[in-house]
Structure 1
Amino acid sequence: MLEKYFFEILVGLIFLISLLSTLIFFLAKRIQQQSSFAKESLKNTREKEKFILESLDIISKALIQEQCEVSEGCIRIRMLVDKSKMLDSSKKDYEVFFNMYQELKNFKTHEKRNELSKQEIMKEDIDRFKVEEKYQAKFLEAVQILHADVKELL
Structure 2
Amino acid sequence: MTWWLILLLTTAVLIVAGLAFYAGRLLWLLQQQKQQQQLAEQKARQQQQEKKAYLQESIVLISRAMLEQQCEFSEGALRLWVLLDHWPVADKPDAVSSYPGIYQMYLTVKDMPTHQARKDQDKKLTRQQDKVRLSAEKDLKAQIEVDLRLILERFQQA
Pick one of 65, 90, 97 that aligns with 2:94. 90
**What SS does the corresponding residue of 2:99 show, helix, strand or coil?**
helix
Report whether the alignment pairs 1:129 with 2:134: yes
- CA-to-partner distance for each residue in 1:74-107, whole Å, 9 max, x for gaps? 0011110111116533153224333331221111
Counterpart Cα distance in 1 of 2:128 and 2:104: 21
CA-CA distance at 1:8 after TM superposition = 1.6
Percent identity reads 23
Pick one of 91, 104, 108 that aligns with 2:109. 104
Q: CA RMSD in A?
A: 1.8
CA-CA distance at 1:115 after TM superposition = 0.4
Counterpart Cα distance in 2 of 1:41 and 1:75: 28
TM value normalised by structure 1 = 0.91
Q: How many residues align?
A: 152
TM value normalised by structure 2 = 0.88
Between stretches 51-60 and 92-101, larger displacement belongs to 92-101
Counterpart Cα distance in 2 of 1:137 and 1:38: 44
Based on CA coordinates, which of the two structures has the bigger radius of gyration?
2
Instruction: Assess if the C-alpha contact under 8 Å between 2:77 and 2:102 holds in 1.
Output: yes
Matched with 1:120 is 125
**What SS does the corresponding residue of 1:89 show, helix, strand or coil?**
coil
Report whether the alignment pairs 1:44 with 2:39: no
Instruction: Assess if the C-alpha contact under 8 Å between 1:81 and 1:87 holds in 2.
Output: no
Counterpart Cα distance in 1 of 2:75 and 2:67: 13
Q: How does 1:143-154 map to 2 (within 5 A)?
A: 143-153=148-158
Counterpart Cα distance in 1 of 2:132 and 2:104: 15
Counterpart Cα distance in 2 of 1:126 and 1:12: 86
Pick one of 5, 8, 11 that aligns with 1:8. 11
Counterpart Cα distance in 2 of 1:19 and 1:94: 61
Structure 1 residues not aligned, in runs of 5+? none
**What SS does the corresponding residue of 1:152 show, helix, strand or coil?**
coil
Hey, which bits of structure 1, 4+ residues long, moved more than 4 A? none
Report whether the alignment pairs 1:69 with 2:72: yes
Structure 2 residues not aligned, in runs of 5+? none
Instruction: Assess if the C-alpha contact under 8 Å between 2:59 and 2:83 holds in 1.
Output: yes
